Amino acid sequence: MYVVNIEKSFVFNNFFEPLIGFIGILFYNKL
């Protein structure tokens, strides 16, 4: 269970965070 949580947080930090940042940059440039 603990290892699964580490893998999920690893995927979240390395995929979703840059993705959200990339979308934020695109949205900011369109303003």
Please give the DSSP secondary-structure letter assigned to residue 14. I
Q: What is the pLDDT of residues 1-31, one digit of tens each?
A: 567 777 877 777 788 888 888 999 999 888 7
Please give the DSSP secondary-structure letter assigned to residue 24. H
Single out the residue of 24, 3, 20, 1 nearest to residue 12, CA to CA.
20
Write down the pTM of the prediction: 0.46
- Map out the domains of the chain as residue ranges: 1-31
pLDDT of the residue at 26: 92
Amino acid at 28: Y
pLDDT of the residue at 1: 57
- Cα–Cα distance between 31 and 5 in angstroms, integer? 37
- Cα–Cα distance between 20 and 14 in angstroms, integer? 11
